[in-house]
Amino acid sequence: GAVVSQHPSRVICKSGTSVKIECRSLDFQATTMFWYRQFPKQSLMLMATSNEGSKATYEQGVEKDKFLINHASLTLSTLTVTSAHPEDSSFYICSAREAGLGYNEQFFGPGTRLTVL
Amino acid sequence: AQSVAQPEDQVNVAEGNPLTVKCTYSVSGNPYLFWYVQYPNRGLQFLLKYITGDNLVKGSYGFEAEFNKSQTSFHLKKPSALVSDSALYFCAVIGSNYQLIWGAGTKLIIKP
């Protein structure tokens, strides 16, 4: 099956710093990538939808200036948490949808655990 | 409104017994339904999906799910539970904008 990787898998940073998380589709082209946030013992919360070559679409309540998303190629999307604060600590998961018409299944990355001190 | 409901926060099953994790959905048109499993501090792993065809869908690790249109349900089942099946299970449906709509998740605990 299709594989999606995330890097890093775990990151600890100081408050006020920026952290970049990469999401790559390894064996397929992904026109659309999704970024989710998951709090402990809760479901996934969609943060934004990223289409290759265009600006990301953010869900209501998600600060686009804080969570910068770049989908520069058909295999790479990045999420940058700017000026991170302890409340940004969470598990971030990306998924990628293969290029093509109509519905295509999403494939999920293994997630990135962000801890902001 | 489009939604997915997993009515049980937690399901406890003895090893070797059959298990069922419930899911009901509300979406317009024909539903595309999914089950994912998440182990601690890990991403989501795909278990199975229903797009069309047979109502009984077989997936990974011996899991299966039955699509019931009249009851708008897609319950996850396994004939004989293993301790290693203990995890968090999510049901999801594709919404009208092709985005996944997630259930709240059900924690499955299999006791030896």
Chain-centroid distance of CA B26 in Å reads: 15
Q: Residue B66 corresponds to which amino acid? A: E
Q: What is the pLDDT of residue A29?
A: 87
- Do the beta carbons of residue B61 and residue B89 sit within 8 Å? no
How many other C-beta atoms lie within 10 A of the C-beta of residue B23?
26
- Secondary structure in 3-state letters for chain B: CCEEECCCCEEEEECCCCEEECCEEECCCCCCEEEEEECCCCCEEEEEEECCCCCEEECHHHCEEEEECCCCEEEEEECCCCHHHCEEEEEEEECCCCCEEECCCEEEEEEC
Q: Is A30 in CB contact (< 8 Å) with chain B?
A: no
Contact B43 A110 (CB under 8 A): yes
> Range with the lowest mean pLDDT among A3-7, B7-11, B94-98, B107-111?
B94-98
**Closest to A83 measured CA to CA, from A8, A17, A32, A20:** A17
A contacts of B100 (beta carbons < 8 Å)? 34, 46, 95, 106
Pairwise CA distance, residues B75 & B69, whole Å: 12
Query: Nearest chain B Cα to A108, which residue?
Result: B44
Residues from chain B contacting residue A34 (CB–CB below 8 Å): 99-100
Mutate to test the interface with B, among A106, A107, A113, A115 (most CBs of B within 10 A): A106
- Residue B84 is predicted with a pLDDT of 94
Show which residues on chain B lie within 8 Å of chain A, measured between beta carbons.
32, 36, 41-46, 49, 51, 90, 94, 98-100, 102-105, 107
pLDDT digits (tens, 9 = 90+) for A31-80: 889 999 988 777 888 999 998 888 899 999 999 999 999 988 889 999 99
- Euclidean distance between CA atoms B9 and B27, whole angstroms: 22
Residue with tokens 């999420």: A79
Paired sense of beta strands A57-58 and A44-51, if any: antiparallel
Q: Which residues of B touch A60 (CB under 8 A)?
A: none
